[in-house]
Copies of this chain bind each other. A is one copy, B any other.
Amino acid sequence: MGSVKFGIKEAAEFLRDHDKFLIISHANPDGDTLGCAFSLCGALRNMGKKAKTICADEISKRYDFMKAALVPQEDFEPETILTVDVADRKLLGSLNEKYGDNVDLAIDHHVSHVDFAENLCCEPHAAAAAQTIYKIIKELGAPMTNEIAACLYVAISTDSGCFKYSCVSPETHLIAAELLHYDFDFSGLNYIFFDMKTKARIALEEQLYSGIEYYCGGKCAVISVTSEQMSGVDIEDGNGVSTIPRQIEGVAVGVVMKQRSNGWKASLRSNSSVDVQKICSVFGGGGHERAAGCSFVGISLEDAKKKLIAEIEKVLS
Residue numbers of A with Cβ under 8 A of B are 157, 161-166, 168-174, 176-178, 180-181, 186-187, 190-191, 194-199, 202-203, 205-206, 209-210, 212, 214, 218, 243, 247-250, 271
Would you call B180 and A173 a contact (CB within 8 A)? yes
Would you call B271 and A191 a contact (CB within 8 A)? yes
Residues of B within 8 A of A203 (CB): 209
Would you call B247 and A197 a contact (CB within 8 A)? yes
Q: How far is the CB of A215 from the nearest CB of chain B, in Å?
A: 13
Set B168, B196, B198, B206: member contacting A210, Cβ < 8 A: B206
Would you call A199 and B248 a contact (CB within 8 A)? yes
Would you call A166 and B187 a contact (CB within 8 A)? yes
Given contacts A168-B187, A170-B178, A180-B169, are A195 and B163 in contact (CB under 8 A)?
Answer: no
Cα separation A157 to B162 with both chains bound (whole Å) = 10
Residues of B within 8 A of A205 (CB): 205, 209
Given contacts A177-B174, A202-B212, are A195 and B164 in contact (CB under 8 A)?
Answer: yes
Would you call A162 and B165 a contact (CB within 8 A)? no
Looking across the interface, which residue of chain B has its beta carbon closest to that of A170? B177
Q: How far is the CB of A36 from the nearest CB of chain B, in Å?
A: 20
Q: A164-B191, A173-B176, A173-B177 are in contact. List 13 more A-B contacts (CB 8 A).
A: A161-B190, A164-B190, A166-B187, A168-B180, A170-B177, A171-B177, A173-B180, A195-B247, A199-B214, A199-B248, A206-B206, A206-B210, A209-B209
Residues of B within 8 A of A180 (CB): 168-170, 173
Set B163, B195, B199, B271: member contacting A176, Cβ < 8 A: B163
Q: How far is the CB of A41 from the nearest CB of chain B, in Å?
A: 25
Q: How far is the CB of A6 from the nearest CB of chain B, in Å?
A: 26
Residues of B within 8 A of A173 (CB): 173-174, 176-177, 180
Looking across the interface, which residue of chain B has its beta carbon closest to that of A191? B271
Cα separation A248 to B201 with both chains bound (whole Å) = 9
Would you call B166 and A163 a contact (CB within 8 A)? no
Given contacts A163-B162, A166-B187, A168-B187, are A249 and B198 in contact (CB under 8 A)?
Answer: yes
Q: How far is the CB of A60 from the nearest CB of chain B, in Å?
A: 13
Cα separation A60 to B173 with both chains bound (whole Å) = 28
Looking across the interface, which residue of chain B has its beta carbon closest to that of A203? B209
Residues of B within 8 A of A197 (CB): 247-249
Residues of B within 8 A of A172 (CB): 177
Cα separation A271 to B196 with both chains bound (whole Å) = 10
Residues of B within 8 A of A250 (CB): 199
Cα separation A164 to B164 with both chains bound (whole Å) = 10
Residues of B within 8 A of A214 (CB): 199
Residues of B within 8 A of A163 (CB): 157, 162-163, 176
Looking across the interface, which residue of chain B has its beta carbon closest to that of A196? B249
Q: How far is the CB of A169 from the nearest CB of chain B, in Å?
A: 6
Cα separation A243 to B191 with both chains bound (whole Å) = 12
Ordered by A's residue number, 26 sampled pairs between the chains whose C-beta atoms are within 8 Å are: A161-B190, A162-B164, A163-B163, A164-B194, A164-B195, A165-B187, A165-B190, A166-B186, A168-B180, A168-B187, A170-B177, A170-B181, A171-B177, A173-B173, A174-B174, A174-B177, A177-B177, A197-B247, A197-B248, A198-B248, A199-B214, A199-B250, A202-B209, A202-B248, A205-B209, A206-B210
